[in-house]
Structure 1
Amino acid sequence: MTEWNDSRARDALRRLFDVAVRSADPRAILKDHLPERPKGRVVVVGAGKSAAVMAAALENAWPEVPMTGLVVTRYDHAVPTRHVEVVEASHPVPDAAGEAAARRILEAVDGLTGDDLVLALISGGGSALMPLAAPGLTLADKQAVNRALLACGATINEMNVVRRHLSAIKGGRLAAAAYPARIVTLAISDVPGDDPAAIASGPTVPDPSSFEDARRIVARYGIDLPAPVRAHLDAAAEETPKPGDPRLARAEYHLIATPLMALRAAAKEAEAMGLAPLILGDALEGEAREAGTLLAGIARSVAAHGQPVARPAVLLSGGETTVTLGGAKGAGGRNGECLLGLAAALAGHPGVWALMGDTDGIDGSMDNAGAVAAPDTLARSRASGQDPIAALHAHRSHDVFLALGDLVTTGPTLTNVNDFRAIIIA
């Protein structure tokens, strides 16, 4: 049996990450999920980091079908399309370009008939990319709330409950605007649990949450809201469309890629490498560095006892942890922080390597997807003059892995099935 060394482990981790990302590439999978072609018009709308490449994949799958429409994606995520217009906007903090695109998306589905088909291409990031505020609120209000949500430690599902109740397009409002046309959503999930109401804040599905739920989340995290936003939540004047709303009777929803699908693809690749894969779950949440400590404990158990899987093995997981900044500036995303938390807890334990990264290619606000940790990560960091534990507590994991040359940089992958974590125990 070939020995596992540093070079082999690093190569294997990168292969697993790349396989997971490829399994969610719309260019390979979208064509298998298309509905029957309609008698009437085809109008394409969408939002998210994958929206443009999804539109291009649709055009390639239906080259002879006339279609019009508009999708909005993150800056630097556009790809060429022939019929569907692509607009770029800001993520994670929204901007005027996203606001204008959201307004045009609503206009595109207005006045359709029962013979028409709306194809909604939805993926992670869509919530921030369609920041059309509810009446009485402004883009500045939405921006302030978004910044507060990103910094407070709320889960993505909690953030989207609040966002849905401040929006003119989310929480089923886009589907309601398209009625009586048939609306078919093709979605790539980036949220734990794959809840359609949470993916891009659910613009085409009924919203099971309420204004009261949004107010409770704001209170739980002590979020300081602009006065108009607080007044809007308190007034609760117009609820989002709920299950059973007749305007959503012709809305269909199909998940074409999910975190679990990506983990299963990686597990199959791991078996071919001679590693025993164990999927711990696709919806792990919690504070990032604490999740790293927990994962380190499982890795230690595998190394010492062969439980819950025998070596050589790889622990695979997905989901979305959070980083509560608490006023710190920070440098690095949740994957880097989780990984540094793992390395700190392992304290140089031999035979354990890990890669953690965001499948969209961007960890937090940095330009890397994630990073790799090895048994010598802490020792090498200290030898370079750093204090990796102090960096962890200051939320500056990016500094550590940048100095070591251990960042994983892919550029935008044009898909997003949330975070990917792989831990090899040799």
Structure 2
Amino acid sequence: MTEPRTLLRALFDAAVSAALPERIVPPHVPETVPGRLVVIGAGKASAAMAAVVERHYGGDLTGLVVTRYGHAAPCARIEIVEAAHPVPDAAGARAAERMLALLESLGPEDHVLALISGGGSALLTLLPEGLAHEDAQALNRALLASGASIDEMNCIRRHLSRTAGGRLAAAAWPARMTSLLISDVPGDDPVNIASGPTVGDPTTLADARTLIAKYDLDLPDSIRAALNDPARESVKPGDPRLAHATAHVVAAPMASLEAAADVARTAGVTAEILGDAIEGEARATGREFAALALERQAAMTPGDAPLVLISGGETTVTLPRDGRALGKGGRNVDFLLGLADALDGARGIWAIAGDTDGVDGAEEVAGAIVGPDTPTRAEAAGMSIATALHRFDGHGLFALLDDQVVTGPTLTNVNDFRAILIQPH
């Protein structure tokens, strides 16, 4: 069998490769459309998707796409704007205003191709009139620290936006709109991919208010007032303005997990996919997976082939409110800290966890790899797993151990990838 760390990295790379825009977008690019083709987009993969559309579309086109800083791709006819993620900035808000104006100028003979991927919620943040840009930043910071699931966060975002929750599609009416979506959410529901700017939203303002109370979010009074204004309600399924809008998920986490499993089997490793929609508190999920790995190892015999447990989804991290100094973390490294803490140096078990967009948390690091020697190497380097857990400093620890997975911008995003490699005793 290939060396464990090398194999785990190969699995991660295969998962990313399966979702690259140059592989998954071309079959969905129209040959030509009547009238103008206007391309819009938002997300970490949207610029790369736009570049593919430019290469494959046979007619004239124009457009505007917003992506994360560092995730741009060269385009000649589609304007690419870079903005901040995960906390939005003014560049994203200006791009959102321009995109709305562009859509509102279209007629029934025009066609919109919307390229949507994870990260679009923050990149296309445009609060309703009367709310300040600082309110958007306060909202996103509160959500990121709350421990809320991505579905819950996006429900709140959809009701504090002029673009999310079907509003882009409504703005484009009566033009036709086709959306190509790269899913980074458990369940692949289009309404949760970038907060669903081009699809109807079944959730309500009341749902958003309930979630804010559930997580006791510290938000400005202006945001609370906006959520009590019926005029802020999102566009619902069945709205006549969505009659000409269709959406297609062109890349999803399960396909990437299956690609990784194929690489493992080729290497002589038994592969088991646990699921592509696993959620929960990151470190607690890591401990649960450690227990599962030890259980599976205990059932193995010396002659068995190695086993790899593969999963995807999106865990959450709830940051403490006790004022302690925090390090640099993300949900994938927090998962690995919980896993390594529970394994406590168990022989024959290695793991990788990383975000397929190359960014875990706010760091330009996809994730990390742990092995049986991680606890002892951490102690020798002057830092324990327990300390890293207490300080939410997974990136700090794994940088110290030179165990980080660094890819740079991958230009795709199908959520988190995790693999636990188990050898028999």
Shift of residue 311, structure 1, vs aligned partner: 4.2
Shift of residue 161, structure 1, vs aligned partner: 0.5
CA RMSD in angstroms comes to: 1.3
Identify the residue that residue 362 of structure 1 maps to in structure 2. 359
1:234 aligned counterpart, secondary structure: coil
Shift of residue 34, structure 1, vs aligned partner: 2.4
- Retained in 2: the 8 A contact 1:38–1:115? no
Q: 1:141 and 2:138 equivalent?
A: no
2:38 aligned counterpart, secondary structure: strand
Paired amino acid for 2:139: V
Identify the residue that residue 21 of structure 2 maps to in structure 1. 26
- Retained in 1: the 8 A contact 2:226–2:232? no
Q: 1:71 and 2:65 equivalent?
A: yes
Identify the residue that residue 36 of structure 2 maps to in structure 1. 41
Shift of residue 70, structure 1, vs aligned partner: 0.2
Q: 1:386 and 2:380 equivalent?
A: no
Identify the residue that residue 191 of structure 1 maps to in structure 2. 185
Shift of residue 111, structure 1, vs aligned partner: 2.8
Q: Distance in 2 between matches of 1:388 and 1:348?
A: 11
Paired amino acid for 2:284: E
Paired amino acid for 1:337: D
- Retained in 2: the 8 A contact 1:120–1:184? yes
Shift of residue 38, structure 1, vs aligned partner: 1.4
Q: 1:412 and 2:406 equivalent?
A: no
Shift of residue 243, structure 1, vs aligned partner: 1.1
Q: Distance in 1 between matches of 2:160 and 2:66?
A: 19
Q: Distance in 1 between matches of 2:41 and 2:159?
A: 20
- Retained in 2: the 8 A contact 1:302–1:311? no
Shift of residue 324, structure 1, vs aligned partner: 0.8
Q: 1:397 and 2:397 equivalent?
A: no
Shift of residue 392, structure 1, vs aligned partner: 1.1
Which sections of structure 2, spanning at least 5 residues, go unmatched?
none
Identify the residue that residue 176 of structure 1 maps to in structure 2. 170
Q: Distance in 2 between matches of 1:237 and 1:251?
A: 23
Give matches, 1:51-62, under 5 Å.
Answer: 51-62=46-57
2:25 aligned counterpart, secondary structure: helix
Paired amino acid for 1:173: R
Identify the residue that residue 132 of structure 1 maps to in structure 2. 126
Q: 1:160 and 2:143 equivalent?
A: no
Length, aligned pairs only? 418
Q: Distance in 1 between matches of 2:233 and 2:338?
A: 41
Shift of residue 263, structure 1, vs aligned partner: 0.3
Give matches, 1:305-344, under 5 Å.
Answer: 305-306=299-300, 311-327=305-321, 328=324, 329-344=326-341
1:106 aligned counterpart, secondary structure: helix
Identity of matched residues, %: 56
Paired amino acid for 1:391: A
Q: Distance in 2 between matches of 1:361 and 1:373?
A: 18
Q: 1:12 and 2:16 equivalent?
A: no
Q: Distance in 2 between matches of 1:379 and 1:120?
A: 49
Give matches, 1:208-357, under 5 Å.
Answer: 208-306=202-300, 311-327=305-321, 328=324, 329-357=326-354
Shift of residue 362, structure 1, vs aligned partner: 0.8
Task: Encode CA deviations 1:297-326: one digit per residue, 9 max, x unaligned.
Answer: 11111110149xx64111000011111111
Task: Encode CA deviations 1:155-177: one digit per residue, 9 max, x unaligned.
Answer: 11111100000001110000001
**Range with bigger deviation, 31-40 or 88-97:** 31-40
- Retained in 2: the 8 A contact 1:311–1:425? no
- Retained in 1: the 8 A contact 2:332–2:355? yes
Q: Distance in 2 between matches of 1:398 and 1:173?
A: 37
Paired amino acid for 1:251: A
Q: Distance in 2 between matches of 1:291 and 1:375?
A: 19
Paired amino acid for 1:180: P
2:228 aligned counterpart, secondary structure: helix
Q: 1:100 and 2:94 equivalent?
A: yes
- Retained in 2: the 8 A contact 1:122–1:187? yes
- Retained in 1: the 8 A contact 2:11–2:263? yes
1:109 aligned counterpart, secondary structure: helix
- Retained in 1: the 8 A contact 2:166–2:198? yes
Paired amino acid for 1:239: E
2:227 aligned counterpart, secondary structure: helix
Q: Distance in 2 between matches of 1:383 and 1:95?
A: 41
What is the TM-score normalised by the length of structure 1? 0.96
- Retained in 1: the 8 A contact 2:66–2:92? yes
- Retained in 1: the 8 A contact 2:160–2:232? no
Structure 1's consecutive aligned runs of 4 or more residues displaced over 4 angstroms after TM superposition are: none
Shift of residue 332, structure 1, vs aligned partner: 1.5
- Retained in 2: the 8 A contact 1:46–1:72? yes
Paired amino acid for 2:345: G
Task: Encode CA deviations 1:353-379: one digit per residue, 9 max, x unaligned.
Answer: 101000000110112110000011001
Paired amino acid for 1:73: T
Paired amino acid for 1:411: G
Q: Distance in 1 between matches of 2:238 and 2:30?
A: 23
Q: Distance in 1 between matches of 2:229 and 2:240?
A: 25
Paired amino acid for 1:361: G
What is the TM-score normalised by the length of structure 2? 0.96
Q: Distance in 2 between matches of 1:317 and 1:330?
A: 26
1:303 aligned counterpart, secondary structure: helix
Q: Distance in 2 between matches of 1:401 and 1:111?
A: 50
